[in-house]
Structure 1
Amino acid sequence: MKFRTLAIHAGQQPDPSTGALNTPVYLTSTFSYGTAAEGQARFAGQNPGYIYSRMGNPTSSALEQKLAAMEGADEAVVVASGMAAISSIVYALTQQGDEVAFIDPVYGGTDAFLRNTLVRAGIKVTSYSSDDDFVANHSANTRLVLWEPITNPTLKVIDSRKIVAVARDIGAITVCDNTFLTPYLFRPLELGVDVVMHSGTKYLCGHGDIIAGVVAGNGPLIQRIRTIALKHIGAPMGPQEAYLLQRGVKTLPLRMDAHLIAAQKVAEFLAAHPKVEKVFFPGLPEHPGHQVIKDTAGGFGGMVALELAGGFAAAATLLDNLTLFAQAVSLGDLESLACHPASTTHAAMTAADRAKAGVTDKLVRLSIGVEDADDLIADLSQALDLL
């Protein structure tokens, strides 16, 4: 099936008891397994069936089947948040004494988890400034490497093909955070990536009304991650959130097409504006990663970043005078959002780490929604006129 068809039909069958087309929301904490012998078999993993919603729920299972199909994965597991996804992956696939590598920058929460929390478990964490830096200077002891193909918030492009090639040579597990591009535009598993993850809060949901995380990949790895995420950490996605995310992903292709069109127009407007010092958007031919995304993905995404001379003061003036863009730290919603990453999403990083990653005080991040691009451009124009 083509992607739009998968988004609608994968993992969804009429309810066997009622014929309902939408997957029911199973609001139950526990499930009756009938007999003691059946309970013993289910807990031993010998018989299929549900036991307790922390470890599995029919609403979540239907969503997992859909997401696995959309990613081209053997299996998927849904969890409570994007941070639950990344922490479960790393804890499931590494152990004390291992080395984890990541390509700077990443989402601020991921950065804080890796630098400040993971190291307490006796795991070495090393950052690299680019894909070429990782290729040239990687450690043969790296057990797991993590990156975002379009980085948050600088929109630097990382060539996943280079990371995968090195990881195969040294036996490292590859983990790609595909939140910005989504499986509609980019399917990392097809390039040989082992595990793909998302903050499902963002584009997959698209409506800004849930917190969610998604992990997909080959069966044995996902089973290990599922055990850590659900049984040990205890971070399941609730059935109501699973229902809403399943509803959201059905319109993902339609929404992404609208995001792509508007983001391209907004980026081109900003690139030509005299008060904008620099624009970061892979869809601009002058962007250093333009050709990589063109070669490996189906579009350039809906995120745009810009730098303004004048640092935080100029950024604040722009942000405080926007009327259609809400100041908020999420992304991927129908509504356009704007934020100052250095003081919000990436504030937990040290000033030195932010500078190294290019998260400057003059950087503004825009999540372009599905509004008419001309209206968004008019809003940006009037705010820029005040600088």
Structure 2
Amino acid sequence: MTKLGFTTRQVHADRLLNNPEHGGVHTSTSNSVLFEFKDAQGIIDAFQGKRAAHVYSRSSSPSVTALQAMLTELEDAEGALCFATGMAAISSSLFALLTAGDHLIVSQYLFGNTRSFFETLKDFGVHITYTDVTDVEHVKNAYQPNTKGVYTETVANPVTQVADLSAIGQFCEENGLLFMVDNTMTPPPLFSAKNVKASLVFTSLTKYIAGHGNVLGGAVIDTGLFNWKNFDNIKSGYQVDDVAQWGLTQIKKKGLRDLGATLSPQSASAIALGMETLNLRMSRSQYNAMQLATFLDNHDKVAKVFYPGLADHPQHFIAREHLTGGYGAILSFDLIDGADPVAFLNALKLVICATHLGDNRTLALPVAPTIYFENTAQERNNMGISDTMLRLSVGIEDTADLIADFETALASL
């Protein structure tokens, strides 16, 4: 399928990769929790990893396996595992791969809930160094003998700092480190994680992949670039014949099976259906985001706009190099001093005040008192988050209608 265009591959991925029953173009939703083995030796072989088979739907089901095949194709990867949420994918994977005494280099601009989880990892003896990932030199300076990897988002939420992705990937390859990239904000075809030598790709399927704000899900995807023989935390029982599968095998056993954050078959089917229109939705949302960012950037009641597509964005040239499919559909902006963010949001009629992103509808919320409320004022300052910052997830509405809604709301201040 690699010779076909991206949208063509996505529209036909389910039927071509998974061969649905009865000539269907979508894999049927399988609601069975248990799976029968006519020969009892089969269940023994499945438990011992000698054959691939569904045993119990907490670990795998036909619906979820079909989605995983589509995600693997999406990232041109070695394999994928799905979870009940994006946070479940992150937490289950890192709990499975790390042990007390390990060290991670982590972006200081991480989304609030993700950063909260890394604080929890500290309680389990994992050492964390937060650093500015927009310059690889900061990452190099944070390196320690016990460093296992680097974790960053492609584009930070909400201030849109863009990581120095290619340089960090090169550094990780040279030092045998896992390069873990959260690609939620910039899914393919915007960005190819393999091009920057990422090892593991994390994504919230809830957001752009599914797209319609009606289902939760998350995934970890192994690009196949990391040599798991260099990772000494892999237990001997999970060192299967195919070395490329060591990481996913341990995550599946110690993370998905043991922690139990299973994606339901119904959710997997909804995500797979939404993914078919990913490229079309992203193209429209990105166009609207660029037009809206330009409008806001020239408005006298807006102090600053944060969007990688603007020429004055600090990492615009990094974004231009790596985000070959566009700059994404998330932007933030600061109102001028004295302006009331709550009054502004209440004046919007079309845009929805909600905590989500990647939806077909344009969403907005005040950043500091909501998703970053648990962070201290100093931590928010280090992330570039002001008290008047508003985050927008730009949808697919008619551009003129969006701009008119913002124009009216700004005029009311």
| TM value normalised by structure 2 | 0.90
Instruction: Give the distance between the partners of 1:17 and 1:270, measured in 2 at CA.
Output: 50
Counterpart of 1:363, as a letter, is: M
- Counterpart contact for 1:6–1:66, Cα < 8 Å: no
Counterpart of 1:277, as a letter, is: A
Alpha-carbon offset, residue 112 of structure 1:
0.6
Is 2:195 aligned against 1:190?
A: yes
Instruction: Give the distance between the partners of 1:177 and 1:16, measured in 2 at CA.
Output: 30
Identity of aligned residues (%): 35
- Structure 2 unpaired stretches of 5+: 225-244
- Counterpart contact for 1:318–1:383, Cα < 8 Å: yes
Q: What corresponds to 2:158 in structure 1?
A: 153
Is 2:363 aligned against 1:316?
A: no
- Counterpart contact for 2:106–2:131, Cα < 8 Å: yes
Task: After superposing the two structures, state which structure 1 stretch, 219-228 or 186-195, moved more.
Answer: 219-228
Is 2:333 aligned against 1:333?
A: no
Instruction: Give the distance between the partners of 2:179 and 2:99, measured in 1 at CA.
Output: 16
Distance 1:56 1:285, change over 3 A: same
Q: What corresponds to 1:271 in structure 2?
A: 297
- Counterpart contact for 1:189–1:195, Cα < 8 Å: no
Alpha-carbon offset, residue 10 of structure 1:
2.5
Which contiguous aligned blocks of 4+ residues in structure 1 show a shift greater than 6 angstroms?
none
Counterpart of 1:137, as a letter, is: N
1:109 to 113, 116, 132: 113
Distance 1:15 1:2, change over 3 A: closer
Q: What corresponds to 2:205 in structure 1?
A: 200
Alpha-carbon offset, residue 168 of structure 1:
2.4
Task: After superposing the two structures, state which structure 1 stretch, 262-271 or 349-358, moved more.
Answer: 349-358
Q: What corresponds to 2:238 in structure 1?
A: none
Instruction: Give the distance between the partners of 2:21 and 2:401, measured in 1 at CA.
Output: 48
Is 2:95 aligned against 1:68?
A: no
Alpha-carbon offset, residue 16 of structure 1:
5.8
Counterpart of 1:44, as a letter, is: Q
Alpha-carbon offset, residue 93 of structure 1:
2.1
Task: After superposing the two structures, state which structure 1 stretch, 17-26 or 49-58, moved more.
Answer: 17-26
Q: What corresponds to 1:31 in structure 2?
A: 35
Q: Residue 277 of structure 1 aligns to a residue in which SS? A: strand
Alpha-carbon offset, residue 101 of structure 1:
1.5
Is 2:145 aligned against 1:118?
A: no
Q: Residue 22 of structure 1 aligns to a residue in which SS? A: coil
Distance 1:17 1:289, change over 3 A: closer
* Residue pairs, 1:1-387, within 5 angstroms: 1-13=4-16, 17-115=21-119, 117-132=120-135, 134-140=138-144, 141-217=146-222, 218=224, 219-297=245-323, 298-310=325-337, 314-387=340-413
Q: Residue 361 of structure 2 aligns to a residue in which SS? A: coil
Counterpart of 1:229, as a letter, is: G
Task: After superposing the two structures, state which structure 1 stretch, 218-227 or 122-131, moved more.
Answer: 218-227
| TM value normalised by structure 1 | 0.96
Instruction: Give the distance between the partners of 2:411 and 2:292, measured in 1 at CA.
Output: 16
- Counterpart contact for 2:306–2:332, Cα < 8 Å: yes
